[in-house]
Amino acid sequence: MRFEELNSTRGRHGSPANGKSVRGKSAFHLMPPRNQQTLAHPALVTGAGYWSGRDVRVELHPAPIDSGVTFIRTDLAKPARIPAHVSHRIETPRRTVLKHQGATVEMVEHVMAALAALRVDNCEIRVDQPELPGCDGSSLAYVEAIDAAGIAKQAAAKAQLVVREVVRVGDDNAWIEASPPSHQGLSFKYHLDYGQDNAIGRQTLSLDVTPDVFRQELASSRTFLLKSEADWLRSQGLASKATVKDLLIFGDEGPIDNELRFPDECVRHKALDLIGDLALGGYDLVGHFVAHKTGHRLNAELLRVLLQEGEVVGHRRRTA
Ligand SMILES: [Zn+2]
């Protein structure tokens, strides 16, 4: 009897491929889901919207178990609730926009990245404009506000979405692939390729995403544009109030009137965006992601496939 128990335990933990996937199936042992979390106190972030130039006030509030992240447009006559889920995402260039029952909220990816990476699962985000503020182009203001408010554990498990088969979307130019995990949590490798004839060039970054890795390595990396892209946006009357101090605008020699926070800040920001986009599934993702020149659209397309094909573990299971 002891032998049977021992064998079954070894069977579950057995990892003959040293964590490598075997015929697309993961050979690692999945940890039990962690507890859900929310904010201990409300948090406040203010700033100007990139697209409108208007002042925006964002309040992050604690929210109940299983409620997820919800945006609330408080400026509308009847405040609209917009769940932060990929099923409400509408295609818009250069940012992530959610729409529910006629109400929209724009530029949600940087607050979503901060909440997901710091594992704040349930949160009400009250915003008094149609877009979140650009701040300095990164997630830093959100991380600082969340850390100042504190994070509180809740008495329910956070469901995991585990990648069990290789899934790839995109084409030869730009693609993203999810593979079964070799260890707990979400890991990624991102290739950024702007070609050789500009100051951004090629950058690659590999990381395991944890709250501290996000705080130290990704949160402060900023949105970037080539000057030609910024000029085009302005010619369309867009983002006219955003300056070279509000994000990175690259000329031939590097960022204009600005200093890089990391030599490879651009690829770090692409990784931040990826984390924010993948947060729109509402699960802890367990898998390895390899991305080549992807953006918001492909990230969302991959997530939709994973929501169909991935394995959900710990859904709504109460732990206390
Ligand atoms: Zn971004």
Could you read off the pLDDT of 159-198 as tens digits, one per residue?
999 999 999 999 999 999 999 998 889 999 999 998 888 8
Q: Are 160 and 286 in contact (CB under 8 A)?
A: yes
- Sequence length of the chain is 320
**And the tokens for 74?**
């408080």
- Cα of 270 vs centre of ligand 1, distance in Å, is 7
- Cα of 296 vs centre of ligand 1, distance in Å, is 9
- Cα of 107 vs centre of ligand 1, distance in Å, is 8
- Cα of 288 vs centre of ligand 1, distance in Å, is 21
Q: Please report whether residue 121 resides in a domain.
A: yes
Question: Which residue is it, tokens 């933990």?
Answer: 13
Q: Please report whether residue 160 resides in a domain.
A: yes
The answer to whether residue 232 scores a pLDDT higher than 50 is: yes
* Domain containing residue 257: 20-313
Q: Please report whether residue 10 resides in a domain.
A: no
Q: Which residues, chain by chain, have CB under 5 Å from ion ligand 1? A: 223, 273
Q: Please report whether residue 9 resides in a domain.
A: no
CATH number of the CATH domain containing 122 = 3.30.230.20
What pLDDT score was predicted for residue 26?
47
What pLDDT score was predicted for residue 72?
97
Q: Please report whether residue 54 resides in a domain.
A: yes
Q: Are 140 and 19 in contact (CB under 8 A)?
A: no
Number of domains in the chain: 1
Q: Please report whether residue 118 resides in a domain.
A: yes
Which one of 9-23, 214-228, 237-251 scores highest in mean pLDDT?
Answer: 214-228
Global pTM value: 0.88
Least confident range from 94-98, 219-223, 270-274: namely 94-98
Half-sphere exposure for 118 (CA within 13 Å, toward CB): 28
Please list the active-site residues. Answer: 296
Q: Please report whether residue 320 resides in a domain.
A: no
Q: Please report whether residue 13 resides in a domain.
A: no
**And the tokens for 3?**
């032998």
